[in-house]
Structures are given as structure tokens and as C-alpha cells.
């Protein structure tokens, strides 16, 4: 059985900077250490975008240092906080399309994995964090799904193409998400994995099952009313795991850094 690790929304910064008092570099290291300690046998690791907090060159260098010795290939994706040109200055060998998008397709056994780039720009507008899939990126997706020789698929994109009920984030979801979902639904036999929300969630949209994970760093807040897209909490960091089976995909999420975590081999009863 093949296995893929996921880290979502690392938000790495320049050295010494923090986000809501958390150090993104240290939090990423802690999650990577925990994920590799238990899953060094994973076939790949996918980073679901927002690698850097403000597209900083220094943040991408930090990421490069942290993943360089990992025992599996790492596939980075773009999120709304990333800057494609700065990323490519550091990750010079990153797979990119003829149009310059950071997208990748690979197969693990009976599963095709497709990672997409939903960063809107250039030009980049710092006040607009919504995502975009242009005709070229849609064509890339359509071709990759059409040519998979009967394989099941995992499709990864940073921006959810659906409303989550978290009002602040729904304002900055994927633009034309319905068209994107219709393409996925027409192809079928796939699972969609998104970033952006910084929470463990699952559901289905237009018949397409989806999952998302918490961040190694700061987490989203379950506030269904607030229009603020920056609400964050300092809950533990986390990573995700997809197990690729003969009949589909099993998705797990694991928290890291629970200070009082204890493991028990059986129940204890009183009296
Ligand atoms: Fe994010």
C-alpha cells in the first residue's frame, strides 16, 4: 500500500518572525520530525501551498534546508501567500508548466496524483487572497485525468472550490469553483485535497469527496459568522496522511506537540 504525507500552510517567515506568537520554522520542523519518525516509508510528501507567509526568499531557503534530506520526494504547491517567481529562484528544478505554473502529475501504483497551482497572478494583489484556475490550468487537469489509464486519482489544490461555512475564508475561496468541481465530477473516481483553511475538515461537493488538514503552525477558527479571514488559534500543529488502497483512499490527520499526550495499551476501570 502506498502512502503520501501532507503538510498544509507552513507560512514560513524570515528568521525571528512569528505569527500569533508561534515560530513557523520551529513548528514546521517539529511536524516534519514527527511525520518522518513514524512514516519514513512514505512514497512522497506534498506541501499544499502557503509555503511562505509573504513570499519571502529567506522563507523558501528555510524550506529548502528543512526538506533537503527527507527520505522521500517532496512536491511543493503554491498558495495565495506564495510568490511563484521568488519560489523558483530557490527551487530552480521545481516542475512547472509551459505557462509557468507549479503543477505536477505522478503515479503511485493504481493512483494518479495531480498537484495544481491556484495562485492568482502575476500581478499579485496583496489584498486579494482568492484563488484562480485559468483555462491553461484547467486543461492541464483535464488532460491528466483523461490519460490515467483507469487509475483512481488524488487532486490537490490550495484553494477550496466550495464554501466551508467559515464566512471569512469563503470570501477568498477558488474563483469559479463550480466549474472546477464539475470537471472533477465528470471524471470521477477521485479524492480532492485542499489547503487554505488551516482546519481538519471533510465533506463532498457536487459529488466530489474532499479533505483538508490543519497547518504545522497557526490554525483556523470555527467561526461561522465573522468576515475576518485572519482569525487564528495556537492549537497544535498537524500533518496528513493518505493511504492509497486498491479500492480508494484513506485519509488520516495527526496532531503534533500535544504536551500531555499519553498512549494506553488498554482501558482501565475503577473499583
Ligand atoms: Fe494559509
Domain architecture of the chain: domains with CATH: 2-256 (3.60.21.10)
Q: All 3 cell numbers of residue 203?
A: 465533506
Give the pLDDT confidence score for residue 192 in this predicted structure.
98
Distance from the CA of 28 to the center of ligand 1, in angstroms?
13
pLDDT at 266: 79
The residue to which cell 503515479 is assigned: 107
Q: How far is CA 195 from the centre of its chain?
A: 4
Rounded-to-integer distance, Cα 200 and Cα 215, Å: 9
> 50 alpha carbon to ligand 1 midpoint, in Å?
5
Task: For residue 26, report the distance from its CA to the centre of ligand 1, in Å.
Answer: 17
Rounded Cα distance between 114 and 263, Å, is 36
pLDDT at 261: 74
Per-residue pLDDT, 262: 76
pLDDT of residue 265: 81
User: What is d(CA 209, CA 226) in angstroms, rounded to the nearest whole number?
Assistant: 26
DSSP 174: B
Phi, psi for residue 212 in degrees, rounded to 5 = -150, 165
The candidate with the shortest Cα–Cα distance to 44, out of 52, 35, 33, 53, is 35
pLDDT at site 271: 60
Share of the chain above pLDDT 70, in %: 99
For 79, 128, 158, the CA distances from 134, given in Å and listed in that order, are 15, 16, 14
pLDDT tens readout for residues 185-195? 999 999 999 99
Q: How far is the CA of 214 from the centre of ligand 1 (A)?
A: 10
- Label the pairing between strands 111-115 and 104-108: antiparallel
Q: How does DSSP classify residue 225?
A: S
Task: Return all residues near 65 (Cβ < 8 A) that are at least 6 apart.
Answer: none
Angle at 17 between CA 15 and CA 19, to 5 degrees: 140
pLDDT for the residue numbered 6: 99
| pLDDT averaged over 10-residue windows placed end to end, the chain, 271 residues | 98 95 96 97 98 97 98 98 98 96 98 98 89 97 98 98 96 96 98 98 98 97 90 95 97 87 76 60
Distance (Å) from CA 162 to ligand 1 centroid: 16
Query: What is the distance in A from the centroid of ligand 1 to the CA of 198?
Result: 6
Span 238-262, pLDDT tens digits: 999 999 999 999 999 999 987 677 7
Grid cell, residue 151, equals 487509475
Amino acid at each position: 500500500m502506498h502512502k503520501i504525507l501532507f503538510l498544509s500552510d507552513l507560512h514560513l517567515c524570515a528568521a525571528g518572525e512569528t505569527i500569533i506568537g508561534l515560530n513557523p520554522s520551529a513548528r514546521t520542523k517539529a511536524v516534519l520530525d514527527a511525520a518522518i519518525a513514524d512514516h519514513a516509508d512514505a512514497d512522497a510528501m506534498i506541501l499544499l501551498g502557503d509555503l511562505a507567509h509573504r513570499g519571502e526568499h529567506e522563507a523558501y531557503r528555510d524550506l529548502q534546508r528543512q526538506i533537503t534530506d527527507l527520505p522521500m520526494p517532496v512536491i511543493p504547491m503554491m498558495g495565495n501567500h506564495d510568490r511563484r517567481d521568488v519560489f523558483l529562484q530557490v527551487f530552480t528544478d521545481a516542475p512547472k508548466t509551459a505557462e509557468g505554473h507549479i503543477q505536477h502529475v505522478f503515479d503511485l501504483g493504481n493512483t494518479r496524483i495531480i498537484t495544481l497551482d491556484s495562485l492568482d497572478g502575476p500581478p499579485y494583489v496583496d489584498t486579494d487572497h482568492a484563488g484562480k484556475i485559468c483555462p491553461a490550468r484547467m486543461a492541464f487537469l483535464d488532460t491528466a485525468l483523461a490519460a490515467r489509464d483507469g487509475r483512481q486519482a488524488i487532486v490537490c489544490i490550495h484553494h477550496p472550490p466550495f464554501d466551508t461555512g467559515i464566512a471569512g475564508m469563503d470570501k477568498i475561496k477558488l474563483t469559479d469553483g463550480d466549474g472546477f468541481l464539475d470537471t472533477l465530477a465528470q471524471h470521477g473516481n477521485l479524492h480532492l485535497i485542499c489547503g487554505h483553511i488551516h482546519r481538519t475538515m471533510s465533506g463532498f461537493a457536487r459529488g466530489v469527496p474532499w479533505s483538508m488538514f490543519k497547518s504545522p503552525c497557526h490554525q483556523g477558527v470555527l467561526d461561522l459568522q465573522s468576515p475576518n479571514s485572519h482569525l487564528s488559534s495556537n492549537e497544535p500543529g498537524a500533518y496528513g496522511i493518505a493511504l492509497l488502497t486498491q479500492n480508494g483512499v484513506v485519509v488520516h490527520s495527526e496532531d503534533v506537540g500535544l504536551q500531555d499526550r499519553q498512549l494506553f495499551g488498554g482501558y482501565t476501570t475503577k473499583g
